[in-house]
Structure 1
Amino acid sequence: MKKTIINMLLKKLNTEPHVKEKSNQNEIDLKSQDISRNFEHNLEVFKSIFSVPKNTDVKVREFTVRALHRRAFIIYLSTMVDIQNIQEGIVEKLIRTEQPSGRIQDIVSYPVQKTITNIGQITEFITGGITALFIDGDEACYLFETTKTRGRGIEKSENEVIVKGAKEAFNEKVIDNIALIRKKIKNENLIVESQVVSKRSRNDVFLIYQKDLASDELLNNIKDKLSALDTDRILDLSILEQYLEERPRSLFPTILYTERPDRAASFIEEGHIVLLMSNSPSSLILPATFWAMIHSPEDHYLRTPYGNFIRVLRLMAMFVAAFASSFYIAITNYHVGMIPPDLLMAIAGTRERVPFPSIVEILMMEIAFELIREAGLRVPSPIGPTIGIVGALILGQAAVQANVISPIVIIVIALSGLSSFIISDTSLNFAIRISRFLFIFAAGTMGIYGATSLFILGLFYLASLKSFGTPYFAPMTPQFFSSKDLIIRHVPFKERFRPGYLKPKDAVKQRKG
């Protein structure tokens, strides 16, 4: 008896993968075929593909087209379409119209997007929110653009907050995102091109650019990379970004991620290419340089002296965030002679009863600061800021009173942490925060010489990075003609050229006044 059961199980295990593989191959072969003129055959094929009635949101409705005296059915996903428009503009017109007509376009009041015959293509359109109409005897299927996805409206940007300038941000509906860009660039040369990037999910990526500006070489390079992706699903632009980067393990980002349509539009006007995707409240800007990462949209909305002041402050904050902790370790451990005597006595007095070396103090407080920072982001928003402030105050005060941490370390960590908040780009912010720990270890082993050596190696590394063929430090090095909008920007009427590293078709954006 046991032997019989084991044989049955083995037989089942040996046959099931083969049956499954055969079933998948049959489905692939079916999708490569065209639809039939036979009503019943088409109905059974699409019910089988969409697992009707098991699949509850797939709706199939059969009826008779009175004007043609022929049977028909429509199929759509009820969760992705405007059901009222389907009922009033398509179904009721087909059922009630008695005037003879040979064209479906003359009967329905809803515009026909296209007619198509391939089963696989029809399936892709249906899963995208398109309604398909099949009529007995017709060799093609009629597709209607009835998509209506639900989502949040246009709101303020949460991560890229500015005081002066536009407040609207991208949302999860790609139609709204495209409209936000078109609202800012009213030009017939603005191209919105779509490309499918995954096999199973079949998600569309939209390439937005100006055909009279963007380089054909850059455009083809991006399209080739998108076509070369061999994956089942890419659900968000953040995941797509990791597939597109030339060095995905690099600490510093080479693709600019933004949720502001005004920022995306300004890069399009320079000759860049912007990527949008459904369900992603953001965009990717290609290519990106280091200078684009440290700039903010507000730099251009403010008057030139104010914008430059903010830029210099941001650059200083970036250096403080990266080097403050490591500099403190270096001068207290290796370069005491650099400290004025009075300050040295003050530091020595505060550290007299602290049992740990300075590098341990710094690491303890840096990790504690990062924990408090992440905890404040992850907890519900009403209590998040409170937890951050209270946690930092209580932890710092208790550590000083317990003689575990010296007061000056609290000052250094607070200054370093606050400076990191000024860096608006999320990816660059993470890069600086992680680099800070590398500089701490370098300074702890070799003092300022170690931190300086690591900084020089870092510059060499950054100079080797490229974003779709564009050097990371362009147009500073290598030298390209541009508006020289790097650290200090000129007044608007002096910014005459588009970035030369993009090889734009029209390099001059403003004639001499």
Structure 2
Amino acid sequence: MRKKITKSLFKNLNSEPEFKEQSNTEAIELKKQDISSRLDQNLATFKSIFSVPLNTDIMVREFTIRSLNRRAFIIFVGTMVDLEHIKESIMEKLLGNEQSSTKIQDIVSFPIAKMATNIGEITDFISGGITALFVEGDSECYLFETTKIHGRSIEKSDNEVIVKGAKEAFNENVVDNIALIRKKIKNENLIVESKVITKRSKNSVFLVYEKDLVNDELLLTIKDKLASFNSDKIIDLSILEQYLEEHPRSIFPTMLYTERPDRAAAFIEEGHIVLLMSNSPSCLILPTTFWALMHSPEDHYLRTPYGNFIRLLRFFALFIAMFASPFYIAITNYHVGMIPPDLLMAMAGSRERVPFPSIIEILMMEIGFELIREAGLRVPSPIGPTIGIVGALILGQAAVQANIISPIVIIVIALSGLSSFIIIDGSMNFAIRISRFLFVFSAGFFGIYGVMALFTVGLFYLVSLKSYGIPYFAPMTPHFASSKDLLIRHIPIKEKFRPGYLKPKDMVKQRKG
């Protein structure tokens, strides 16, 4: 008997659970219908849809319009609207007006955003912060743009800090973000197009581009990609980025993520497409190349010699961040003859009492540095920098005194870590940090030959990457006509062309005469 019970128990545990699908057919069919001209029926319908009175932030107010002598009601989400505007510009006008009038537009002082008849469409508007007015005998609903969602004000950028240039950054309010872009591009050709990309949450993404510049084929490709999503919710731009990626398993990013409106405006003026979402204090720029990820907006704000100096320093830091640790391992293990005799004797003396091979030293310190970096980011901001500085000093000094790590390794790791901070793009920074570990292992097993072999394979891989049809290293390879803003930039008056790889409708941005 016990064996039968045990077998039955294991059978139930191993079998897949049965989920009964709850049918929502009635609600779906209801949303496809139009509203009725009968007020009581509309009131019952929308109370049922929004679960009133169970849903406490859904406000319904019934009243009589005196000038029309007709019953009406308004419905809105109380936490997403401007209550003062509703009271002063809608309710008081409808209740207090005694002059004979046949149109709602002539009574209220608040502009009517739209009129709608479909129940599903009206439901989506109400959920987004729109106030809906239903009047007895009317087969249309009056919609008022009363949305007011509280959030952060426009502040400085935390992640893309620059010394010279605009300081304002995007916030979580998409209306503010669009206004920041429009403030910089005062052009009637600037299009802000909205698309709903999720079924249940009704999240919208906004495509921002200039219709007289953007390539129509590129725009259609991105729209088709957005339309192909089959998800209930995509609540943030960072999640949308993962849906849009053409190489989701690649450690190198193919989309530019920025929280600076001036940077977004500059890319729009070149023919790129910018994606915005509500609740996201940033934007996505499509398509993206390697050079865009390595450039900083400050490169253009500074005078050309200063900007080029910082840019060359950034590319130099890229190689130090990736190759300082691998080269140290390769030279000390396999290519000792490359080190000058005096330096070799100094290194041998510092490593005399260290029990570990150089690759173990490097890995221990690299992992320790990453732990300190992440700890400094995650702890509360007042003590974050303190933990980073004190942790690095204490651990480094203690490790050297305990003869676990040689002093020169501390120098190598510190130089490598500091260089990685100069890479401004967060995704590219992660790619460099992960690549460094791969180069460390290749140097530990095969020396310089392993490092160069991995570098060659990685270069071939990067050349093969594309961002929505645009080669990763364009316009260097393959070559396209452009302003040649790659390793160095020319003076602004010499930058006459937009990027040719985007195939914009207007290639020339500066004309003679």
Asked if Structure 1 and Structure 2 have the same fold, meaning a TM-score greater than 0.5 normalized by the shorter chain, the answer is: yes
Deviation of the 1:69 alpha carbon: 1.0
1:478 aligns with 2:478: yes
Q: Report the count of equivalent residues.
A: 496
Residue 407 (structure 1) aligns with: 407
Conserved 8 A contact 1:89-1:108: yes
Q: Is 1:299 the counterpart of 2:299 in the alignment?
A: yes
Provide the residue aligned with 1:193 in structure 2: 193
1:312-323 maps to which residues of 2 (within 5 A)? Answer: 312-323=312-323
Which has the higher mean CA deviation after the structures are superposed, 500-509 or 62-71? 62-71
Aligned residue number for residue 202 of structure 1 = 202
Give the 5 Å matches for 1:69-468. Answer: 69-468=69-468
Q: Which residue of 2 aligns with 1:11?
A: none
Partner Cα distance (2:165, 2:103) in 1: 51
1:512 and 1:412 mapped to 2: Cα distance? 51
Offset from partner CA, 1:51-77 (integer Å, 9 cap, x none):
111111110110011111111111000
Alpha-carbon separation, structure 1, partners of 2:280 and 2:69: 45
Query: Which one-letter code corresponds to 2:411 in the other structure?
Result: I
In structure 1, C-alpha distance between the alignment counterparts of 2:240 and 2:470, rounded to whole Å: 19
> Residues 329-365 of structure 1: CA distance to partner in whole angstroms, max 9, x if unpaired?
0000011111111111111111110000100000000
Aligned counterparts of 2:104 and 2:512: Cα–Cα separation in 1: 57
Distance in 1 separating the partners of 2:499 and 2:441: 38
1:146 corresponds to which letter in structure 2? T
Task: Using the TM superposition, give the Cα deviation of residue 17 of structure 1 relative to its aligned residue in structure 2, in angstroms.
Answer: 7.0
User: Residue 22 of structure 2: SS of its match in structure 1?
Assistant: helix
Partner of 1:4: none
Q: Cα deviations across residues 96-128 of structure 1 (Å, max 9, x unaligned)? A: 111121111011000011110111010100011
CA displacement 1:118-167 (0-9 Å, x = unmatched):
11010100011000011111111110000001001000000000000000
Aligned to 1:159, the other structure's residue is in SS state coil
Contact 1:276 1:284 in 2 (8 A): yes
Cα distance in 2 for residues equivalent to 1:65 and 1:220: 48
Contact residue 213 and residue 504 of structure 1 kept, 8 A? yes
Cα deviations by residue, 1:411-444 (Å, 9 ceiling, x for unpaired): 0000000000000000000000000000000101
CA distance in 2, matches of 1:380, 1:17: 43
Q: Deviations over 1:219-266 (max 9, x none)?
A: 111111111111000111111011001011110000000000000000
Alignment root-mean-square deviation, CA = 1.0
Per the alignment, residue 25 of structure 1 pairs with: 25
The superposition leaves residues 299-348 of structure 1 with CA deviations (integer Å, 9 ceiling, x where unpaired) of 00000010000010000001100111001000000111111111111111
2:4 equivalent in structure 1 = none
SS at match of 2:113: strand
Distance in 2 (alpha carbons) for counterparts of 1:150 and 1:21:
35
The answer for the alignment partner of 1:3 in structure 2 is: none
Distance 1:123 1:284 in 2: 29
- Letter of the 2:286 partner, please give it: L
Report % sequence identity: 77
Q: Is the 8 A contact 1:496 1:512 kept in 2?
A: no
Structure 1 CA distance for aligned equivalents of residues 334 and 55 of structure 2 = 70
Distance in 2, Cα, partners of 1:438 & 1:201: 40
- For the Cα contact (< 8 Å) 1:63–1:72, is it kept in 2? yes
Instruction: Report the residue type matching 1:265 in the other structure.
Output: A
One-letter code aligned to 2:265? A
Post-superposition Cα deviations, 1:376-422, rounded to whole Å, max 9, x if no partner, equal 01111111001100000000000000000000000000000000000
> In the alignment, what sits opposite 1:492?
492
Distance 1:17 1:344 in 2: 69
CA distance in 1, matches of 2:127, 2:338: 68
Amino acid at match of 2:418: L
Question: Is the deviation greater in 94-103 or in 158-167?
Answer: 94-103
Name the aligned partner's letter for residue 399 of structure 1.
Answer: A
Question: What SS does structure 1 have at the residue aligned with 2:284?
Answer: strand
| Counterpart-to-counterpart distance in 2, 1:485 and 1:100 | 66
Moved over 3 A (4+): none
Asked if residue 509 in structure 1 is aligned to residue 509 in structure 2, the reply is yes
Secondary structure class of the residue paired with 2:257: strand
Matched residue of 2:433: which SS?
helix
What CA distance in whole angstroms lies between the structure 2 residues aligned with 1:149 and 1:502? Answer: 37
Distance in 2 between residues matched to 1:55 and 1:42, nearest whole Å: 18
| Secondary structure class of the residue paired with 1:270 | coil
Q: Distance in 2 between matches of 1:423 and 1:174?
A: 27
- Quote the Cα distance in structure 1 between the aligned partners of 2:266 and 2:344: 50
1:10 match = none
Find the aligned partners of 1:250 and 1:140 in 2 and give their Cα distance: 51
Q: Deviations over 1:160-196 (max 9, x none)?
A: 0000000000000111111111111111111111111
Q: Mind listing any 5+ residue stretches in structure 2 that lack a counterpart?
A: 1-17
Aligned-partner residue type, residue 21 of structure 1:
Q
Taking structure 1 as the reference length, what is the TM-score of the superposition?
Answer: 0.96
5+ residue gaps, structure 1, are 1-15
1:218 and 1:468 in contact (8 A); partners too: yes
What is the SS of the residue equivalent to 1:94? Answer: helix
Deviation at 1:21? 2.6
Distance 1:65 1:466 in 2: 61
- Which amino acid is the alignment partner of residue 448 of structure 1? I
- State the shift of 1:198 in Å: 0.8
